[in-house]
Amino acid sequence: MRPRHPAAIMIPSFRSSVHDHTTRVSENRDLGGSHFLLTLEAEPIAVSARPGHFVMLRFDGCLDPLLPRPMSVCNVLPPGGGHPGRIQILHKVVGKGTARLSTLKPGERLQVLGPLGRPFETPASGEGGSLAVMVAGGIGVAIFPLLVPQLKRAGYESVLLFGARSSRDLVHRDWFARQGVPVRTATEDGSEGRRGLVTELLGETLASRTSVGPIYACGPRAMLQAVSGVANAAGKPTWLSLESYMGCGIGACLGCVTRVRRERTWAYQRICVEGPTFSSTEVLWE
């Protein structure tokens, strides 16, 4: 399916093309525990998406919900089997928009704007034996599949440290295992892996390996703050993907600002444009 009204907007600071694309659902797989893996035919976005990018999803010809919903680009699939390039969105049903996403059937349409935001800083090539660490909290894991091949190409070993409330939220971890990425889990209720917080696993990993870095983290704000504390104390280069309510996703409404450190002062930055990825040393948490 070709885009009906392909539009490209240039965001000069990142030199990336943003497409407003009418996509066709090719699959919407129920992964259990209110999680879904949605596959959309979205060739232009699949071509330009980088790890850490997100898209804004809105329902074709529908005013409820009115505002688009931000979702990370979980993965891209190359053209093949009669399909153009596709993107995958891993989401959890938490309210009206995600409930509607979960009911989409193959062949239905969804309006997608993206790729948006500043992607993760990724290493060009790895130091021998270095371990790149991905730290996920709950549905924050959705951001990492696109990062895995990039880390591999750069010569890094990688590990996923995955924390969640309970085992039913440890979604999509088999995907990482199939890529040869070890997964260590922590759950708050002790239903799987370590009983406790994922930051404990991060502390252990940093203590057990001399050559660790970079670290990437995505999850609830409190988790990201805790990851920053551990990673900054160890002096490791760390990239966080922040979440926020988003009205527009393109820097116009100022509804998503967060405070960041600047030389001897601080500034507001828009999570949708200057983020969602930030260095752990620049985010101000209070």
Ligand X SMILES: Cc1cc2nc3c(=O)[nH]c(=O)nc-3n(C[C@H](O)[C@H](O)[C@H](O)COP(=O)(O)OP(=O)(O)OC[C@H]3O[C@@H](n4cnc5c(N)ncnc54)[C@H](O)[C@@H]3O)c2cc1C
Helix 198-208 / helix 221-233 crossing angle, nearest 10 deg? 20
Closer CB to ligand X, 244 or 279, in the complex: 244
Which helix (H) or strand (E) segment is 255 a member of?
A: none
Position closest to ligand X via CB = 95
Closer CB to ligand X, 26 or 72, in the complex: 72
Please choose, from the candidates 113, 88, 56, 64, the residue with its C-alpha nearest in 3D space to the C-alpha of residue 246. 56
Restricted to residues 240-269, the positions that interact with ligand X (CB under 6 A) are 243-246
Give the residue, chosen from 19, 24, 58, 91, that forms a contact with ligand X under the rule CB under 6 A: 91
Q: Could you give the CA distance from residue 81 to residue 129 in angstroms, rounded to a whole number?
A: 38
- What letter does residue 5 receive in the DSSP assignment? S
Restricted to residues 244-263, the positions that interact with ligand FES (CB under 6 A) are 246-249, 251-256
Residue 270 contacts ligand FES per CB under 6 A: yes
Q: Which residues pair with 35 in a beta bridge?
A: 32, 92
Minimum CB separation of residue 218 from ligand FES in Å reads: 17
Minimum CB separation of residue 259 from ligand FES in Å reads: 14
Peptide bond into 70 cis (omega under 30): no
Instruction: Give the pairing type, strands 54-58 and 35-41.
Output: unpaired
Q: Could you give the CA distance from residue 283 to residue 266 in angstroms, rounded to a whole number?
A: 10
Closer CB to ligand X, 114 or 213, in the complex: 114
Q: How many residues bind ligand X (CB under 6 A)?
A: 21
Q: How many residues bind ligand FES (CB under 6 A)?
A: 12
Q: Where along the sequence are the contacts to ligand FES (CB under 6 A)?
A: 246-249, 251-256, 270, 272
